[in-house]
């Protein structure tokens, strides 16, 4: 199990790296995170929902994603409320107070343990990931994600600390010092992550940490710039470069407050033909070659927001200027004529006019659609892949589907090559669709098409090599044997 001194210290990526290492060494690993909080989710092969990070880790392990890998998913709908997804299905909405202050979460923890037990019966080893810090004393009795599940699993636990933040000695020593004895005995090693510079400069620090804590430093991972693994959280989205880039196709992803599944754009970010940026600045949107409206966990609220801040007007103006405008999931719903919420799924019951770019209307429903899909894009022969995660049904005045699903149904609306919408997340992971999209802009012909699947496999292998070079892998295997 990989746990942290804080959030964003690298737990998800290191977990993915070990999934790949164990797979390379002939084992059948699988990832596990008891509870995840993220707007990035994924539809499993059996049509259920888990956190995207565990889907990435399963991909690194070479196994199908399953809800037992992430039995509890919290999807924030506002600053204080979140949808609870249990075993891949919505189980209601709760405030942070209701969720975290509910006794010791005995019933939920029982569900988590059962998921782990089932997973451990099918795979070996289980590569577990913690959440945030393991020393949040005020939440310890209600924690189902960190040391409580580690004790149940009898896990060999490795504590990860981000040296790039500073304060490494205080964070590591304090984290371990605050653990009760039965939890301290599970800590088998310390991993120092994101080290910049000459690692030899930390030799003394390594010895001091081991002396202070009584726990060996399993290794020091250097900061890297050339390995690309999907990020779990969308915090970095607003920090991406916004300025246009000459010689590239400039793609503006509309920055929404409740943006979900930003991993839809990972393939584009690695494509040499493209410069992609995230913005809610009207001037930047109008200047872009392609505008993409992404998914949202609260579509109506985000639609109101972009109307109020001028973003919606910029999108329609860009469309009038013959720019490419497409929408994915919630973005597709926004592009229509109306979104109705008769059951109060996202808030008070009612309806709101859309952007009016597509002749479709959407009704939000109580039931969530979560399905992996295989489809043909615009009548082409090649079978593409994607997945649906949405609460809503969209109908058109005159059918003009974008995609034909292999089960005989259809998806999306195709107005013309420069304006369409779809419910399919991951649609832009398919090279034929990206090439068709970029062909609407003259700059795309100079660089060859990009194979995203091959790229991801290369990144998992590079990550595994990076970890092997800088961590004592033999010590990890010895801890597992014990």
Candidates 412, 408, 451; CA nearest to 429 is 451
Q: Which token pair is 197?
A: 């510079």
Contact predicate 331/254, CB 8 Å:
yes
Q: Strand 249-254 relative to strand 413-416: parallel, antiparallel, unpaired?
A: unpaired
Specify the DSSP element, H or E, that contains 275: strand 274-279
Grouping H, G, I as helix, E, B as strand and the rest as coil, residue 226 is: coil
d(CA 451, CA 155): 37
Other Cβ atoms within 10 Å of 459 Cβ, number:
19
Phi, psi of 443 (to 5 degrees): -75, -10
Choice among 19, 66, 329, 390 that is catalytic: 329
Active-site residue, 19 included: no
Task: Tell me the sheet residues that pair with 189.
Answer: 158
Q: How far apart are CA 340 and CA 350, in angstroms?
A: 6
Q: For residue 368, what is the DSSP state?
A: P
Taking phi over 0 as left and psi of -120 to 50 as alpha, with beta for the rest, 435 belongs to: alpha
Is 425 an annotated catalytic residue? yes
Strands 369-377 and 383-390: what pairing?
antiparallel
Q: In the structure, how many helices (H) and strands (E) does the chain have? A: 16, 28
Q: Of 382, 365, 383, whose CA–CA distance to 374 is shortest?
A: 383
CA distances to 154, 208, 421 from 417, rounded to whole Å, are 55, 62, 11
Helix (H, G, I), strand (E, B) or coil at 196: coil
Beta-carbon count within 10 A of 305 CB: 17
Distance CA 471, CA 479 (A): 14
Q: How far apart are CA 10 and CA 1, in angstroms?
A: 13
Q: Annotated active-site positions, please? A: 329, 425
């Amino acid at each position: 199990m990989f746990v942290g001194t804080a959030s964003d210290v690298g737990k998800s990526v290191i977990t993915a790296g070990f999934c790949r290492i164990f797979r390379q060494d002939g084992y059948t690993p699988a990832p596990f995170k008891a509870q995840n909080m993220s707007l990035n989710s994924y539809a499993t092969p059996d049509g259920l929902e888990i956190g995207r990070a565990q889907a990435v880790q399963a991909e690194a392990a070479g196994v199908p994603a399953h809800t037992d890998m992430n039995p509890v998913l919290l999807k924030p709908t506002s600053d204080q409320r979140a949808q609870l997804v249990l075993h891949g299905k919505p189980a209601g909405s709760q405030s942070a107070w209701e969720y975290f202050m509910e006794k010791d979460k005995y019933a939920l923890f029982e569900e988590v343990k059962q998921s782990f037990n089932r997973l451990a019966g099918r795979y070996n080893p289980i590569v577990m990931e913690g959440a945030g810090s393991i020393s949040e004393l005020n939440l310890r009795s209600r924690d189902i994600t960190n040391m409580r599940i580690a004790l149940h699993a009898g896990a060999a636990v490795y504590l990860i600390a981000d040296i790039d933040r500073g304060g490494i000695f205080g964070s590591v020593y304090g984290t371990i010092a605050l653990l009760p004895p039965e939890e301290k005995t599970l800590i088998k090693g310390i991993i120092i992550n994101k080290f910049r510079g000459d690692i030899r400069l930390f030799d003394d620090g390594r010895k001091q940490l081991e002396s202070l804590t009584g726990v060996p430093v399993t290794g020091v991972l250097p900061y890297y710039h050339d390995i690309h693994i999907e990020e779990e959280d969308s915090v970095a989205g607003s920090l991406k470069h916004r300025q246009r880039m000459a010689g590239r196709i400039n793609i503006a992803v509309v920055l929404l407050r409740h943006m979900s599944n930003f991993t839809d754009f990972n393939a584009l970010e690695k494509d040499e033909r493209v410069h992609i940026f995230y913005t809610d600045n009207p001037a930047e949107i109008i200047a872009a070659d392609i505008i993409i409206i992404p998914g949202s966990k609260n579509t109506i609220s985000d639609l109101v927001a972009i109307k109020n801040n001028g973003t919606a007007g910029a999108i329609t103006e860009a469309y009038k200027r013959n720019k490419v405008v497409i929408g994915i999931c919630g973005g597709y719903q926004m592009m229509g004529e109306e979104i109705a919420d008769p059951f109060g799924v996202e808030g008070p019951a009612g309806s709101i006019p859309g952007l009016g770019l597509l002749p479709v209307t959407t009704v939000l429903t109580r039931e969530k659609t979560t399905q992996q899909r295989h489809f043909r894009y615009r009548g082409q022969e090649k079978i593409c892949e994607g997945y649906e995660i949405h609460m809503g049904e969209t109908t058109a005045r005159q059918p003009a589907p974008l995609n034909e699903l292999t089960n005989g149904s259809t998806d999306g609306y195709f107005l013309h090559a420069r304006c369409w919408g779809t419910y399919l997340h991951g649609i832009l992971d398919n090279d034929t669709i990206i090439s068709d999209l970029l062909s609407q802009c003259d700059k795309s012909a100079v660089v060859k098409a990009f194979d995203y699947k091959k790229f991801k496999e290369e990144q998992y292998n590079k990550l595994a090599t990076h970890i092997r070079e800088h961590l004592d892998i033999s010590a990890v295997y010895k801890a597992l044997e014990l």
